Amino acid sequence: MQAMRIFGLLLHGVLVVSVAMAFASCAAQSVQPELVSATPPKASLQFVDLPGFDKDLVQSLSAPLPQVQVAFYDRITPSALPERLQKWMASVETGGGSVKIVPPPSTVTARSPFMLLSAVSSLWSANRMIKEASAAAQYKMAHAYDAELLLRLDDKGDTLVDRVVFVQKKK
């Protein structure tokens, strides 16, 4: 009988400690959200198609910096804008912002510029992209910004995305 009483007290103690540890881990998680990085916000980022890019962009847009530029390591054509970046563009539009396509400075007329502009714009205007951008809290930081997609011509005459610039909306 006394063994049962001791076993019950031990079980009660383990339960109390387990609940306390669960609360402590929840509190620690709420203090350090996964989207906050230890690095300071940057006005210029390099695009890498990894979740770390989203964390860095969230930090820069929530600073809030007047302008955040995103450059690319790879050759990105306007019609092949990475999905991760398309979600950010969709979020800008969802938040009432505008996405402006800035054609490359050139003396030669670009091949079918209206087709190019409509193709780029339709990429992130897809319904699925807008729903995903609306659902994820991290993309809401882009609601305070407009975006400019700056294009350039390479040495072969191909149109590439030079950089994306998030410009804080005027209040």
Q: What is the mean pLDDT of residues 63-75?
A: 93
DSSP assignment of the chain: -HHHHHHHHHHHHHHHHHHHHHHHHHHHHHHS-TT--SSPP-SEEEE-SSHHHHHHHHHHHTTT-SEEEEEESS---GGG--HHHHHHHHHHHHTT--EEEEPPP-SSPPSSHHHHHHHHHHHHTSHHHHHHHHH-GGGGGGGGEEEEEEEEE-TTS-EEEEEEEEEEPP-
8 Å CB contact between 82 and 129: no
Instruction: Answer yes or no: is pLDDT of 155 > 50.
Output: yes
Most confident of 11-15, 76-80, 134-138: 76-80
Instruction: Answer yes or no: is pLDDT of 71 > 90.
Output: yes
pTM as predicted? 0.66
Give pLDDT tens digits for 1-48: 665 555 454 444 433 334 344 444 443 333 334 444 567 899 999 999
Instruction: Answer yes or no: is pLDDT of 121 > 90.
Output: no
Instruction: Answer yes or no: is pLDDT of 89 > 50.
Output: yes
Taking Cα atoms as reference points, which of 84, 88, 72, 67 lies closest to residue 141? 88
88 or 28, higher pLDDT: 88
Q: How far apart are the first and last CA of the chain?
A: 74
Percentage of the chain exceeding pLDDT 90: 43
